Structure 1
Amino acid sequence: MSVDLQHFFETYRPSVDQALTDRVSTLKTPDTLKAAMLYSLEAGGKRVRPLLALAVLQCYRPVEEEDLPAASAVELIHTYSLVHDDLPSMDDDDWRRGQPTNHRKFGEATAILAGDALQTTAFTWVAEAGRPASAEARLQLVQELAGASGGEGMVGGQMADLEGEKQALNLKELEYIHHHKTGALLTYAVVSGSLIAEAPNTDVENWRAFGRELGLVFQIKDDILDVEGSLEEMGKSSGSDESKEKSTYPKLLTLEGAKEKLTYHIEEAEKLLGLMTVDTSLLVSFLHYIGQRNH
């Protein structure tokens, strides 16, 4: 990780963590539900999506406290998706980020409700945010987040992923899953940063294309780590995709082929960063961090 990116993370991750905790802690909801929400929210996630949004924003102007709600709300959606993904009816996982999954801690019914509450809180938070200042811009963010989260985005990708278990998917089918299940929220995070910054429309669309490439980088690396990683490094069992007979990039392309594809999409993402009207060196570092991480 570059020195600049390390400094960026150290500066803004505590602020994102605090904003998330404060937002959920102030909800007027039953204590058990709130505890389940906070359990997964405070389980040690890297906050990649909020930090991506803030990194894009910082390309245009300094980050301010009022920017945190609109940038951080995506983490509530991401966390809800993990809670639901881990359920026995979906991935049936016992561990997440090195600790028992939500349903193992609180029971299945509470885990479902905690995920539901995290999801809906995200939309309220964006709608009430102080930035962007105009209601029209916040409405666009809500629309973007709904699209990225729902049937045409993450949820649709999860459905395709479930249907693809024990199936011999081709590369196009696998990329559909990952553009939606993983890539949609990463793309939203990138686009949201540009919208909070009120960037030019041409930049917004280039950021959208960058987000799609970044989503593939993230997922291909995730598949590689599923083969090479350990429970200690990743906070979940390695080989879990293989045990569920899921199609992955290493399975389709071999491990070496997956690494070559990872390099290709990193290079494509770098080309898109070169089209922006602002200095994107921080995002180049972010891209390489995602492509080279060990968990």
Structure 2
Amino acid sequence: MDWDKLRIFHAVAEAGSLTHAGDQLHLSQSAVSRQIRALEESLDTTLFRRHARGLILTEQGELLFEATRSMARRLETTAARIRDSEDEVFGDLRVTTTMGFGALWLAPRLPRLFERYPNLRLELMLEERIVDLPMREADLAIRMKEPSQADLIRRRIMEVRIRLYASRTYVEREGLPRTVEDLVSRRLIVQNPASPQVRAGGEFVQPLVAQANSTLTVNTYFGILQGVIHGVGIGSLPDYITAGFPDLVQVLPGLESAAIPVYLAYVQELRHNKRVCAFRDFVLEEITAHLRTIAPASE
């Protein structure tokens, strides 16, 4: 169906007059009339009937006008979104990050994001696999390693360290270890060596696990956290998780992994995208607040 003819039909149906529609479209009455006749011929139906007060839509014309009216509304909405006002953020955004960071740090903070941007449609892709941002598998990534892909804007947003934690009930029941040697008789909960993890985390727990009498290995930090909360043993957890669980007690303060950098990255072509910029700024604000809350504990 010819889009130009539909545009002319819509103008005539709204105006109820060939002359008025022609004025709006900057076309002569005869040119408008020819386009309407051609459209009627292509559909093998009559769209208008003449009346003393102008043109009246037939039943078939009403059906077509309903469709063009819906199309016009959607086009107006799309045009407004393309123009995109300075204050409005809406539409789809795909963010990829690790299971632990996404589920245990980011997700609990998302109500504040949606309160600010209620029309944002966010897709969280929680996986350890490094997705291809230049191929647009995701719009933005938060990773525990500097991205190596080309043509990315990358920003180091924080550092993470792995430490040992136990629940308060576990400490009351079993007491706190005083030395690394005391860990030999305690059950350690750590990431499964075969599961994807940052090198610093594996290097931190490896010598501890080698000497422990009992261990529980889990393939996600969420699983480790559940084991620690329920008093199964002493677990290795990144510090971004534990700030949200005040009943966790750090075991052997000072014993920790090397610093693990956290990077936020997106492709160059999205540097002015309002959704990406809004999410980036939100994450940076939340990290600033998070670091303020844990600062006294780390001093």
> What is the TM-score when the length of structure 2 is the normalising length?
0.22
Normalized per residue, which structure has more helix? 1
Q: Which has the larger radius of gyration?
A: 2
> What is the TM-score when the length of structure 1 is the normalising length?
0.23
